[in-house]
Amino acid sequence: MLRDFYATVRNGKGELYGLSSYIGLRAGLNRQINDPPLSLSWSLLKDTEFTTCNNVFIGVVKILRKKGLYTSVHHSSVTEDDFNAIKQVLDPNTPEGLVNKVWFDVQLHFGRRGNEGNRQLKPSSFTTKTDENGLKYTTLTFNEHTKNHNDPQARNKESTRGFMCELPGDPLCPVS
């Protein structure tokens, strides 16, 4: 059954998954059978009972690599025309425009993982500093916990999450 799954699983469009998604599926299955409520203590990756399944998995990985599906597909960058269209609704002189502008600036500069963690942000979460050229920039006063690097000491170090730089003369300067 697992062999058939590895050989036939497709995404919602009926296409093969990319390599990282495919590997993630197997890891997720392994986690699912080992975590409560099942708690089976099996390893889909290493147990000899799953050798034939893993051979099918490896075969599909080879196919994915041959088809060029081993790389991540990223969204294209926002074009200058699209960015100018977005700026049309970021009018800080209207209440709705100001809310849109602040949300957009926070997402653009600090939204490394989408909107995750935004609800915990407060005015005290931000600080404004000056760089060596005399330009102001805003950064976070803390480092958020990441999914992969949970060093408790890192939360008190200077933020590496992002910077919002001053744009002198720009009426939509995010720092002013």
Lowest mean pLDDT among 83-92, 112-121, 131-140, 153-162: 153-162
Give the per-residue pLDDT at 91: 87
**pLDDT value of residue 83:** 86
Q: Per-residue pLDDT tens for 82-123? A: 988 888 888 899 999 999 999 999 988 888 777 777 888 889
Going by C-alpha positions, the residue among 137, 73, 72, 143 that lies closest to residue 113 is: 143
pTM for this entry: 0.52
The structural domains of the chain, with segments of one domain joined by +, span 2-66, 80-165
Q: Name which residue leads in pLDDT, 52 or 163.
A: 52
State the residue for tokens 């100001």. 98
Mean pLDDT in residue range 18-29: 91
Q: Grade residue 158 by pLDDT with cuts at 50, 70 and 90.
A: low
Residue 60 — φ and ψ, nearest 5°? -65, -40
Above 60 in pLDDT, residue 157?
A: no
